Amino acid sequence: MIDTYRPQWHRNAACHGQTSSFFPKRGQPIDDARAICAACPVLDQCREYVTRVAAPEMYGVWAGLSERQRRQLRRARRASST
């Protein structure tokens, strides 16, 4: 079966199949998710995806980044491109 919601490389991600650490409740630490991301073989692809390709409304931890950190990164990239 082809996963239509995730890019092809996501199958090789260290987080594949894990959810609890990547969707914490507001105020919960994301250290566990960050540790998994730090050792992920597709971290670069994931970071590119969530900061350039994916919808800004995505929630949870992606590429070791919180939603706030991703917003800040997107803003910084937009500012540097103008």
pTM, rounded to two decimals: 0.80
pLDDT of residue 20: 84
All structural domains of the chain with their residue ranges: 8-81
Q: Which residues of 22-60 are buried (b: 16+ CB within 10 A; e: fewer)?
A: bebeeeeebeebeebbeebebbebbbebbbeeeeeeeeb
Token look-up 């995730």 returns: 6
Confidence band, pLDDT 50/70/90 cuts, at residue 31: very high
Q: Where are the beta strands (DSSP E) in 1-82?
A: none
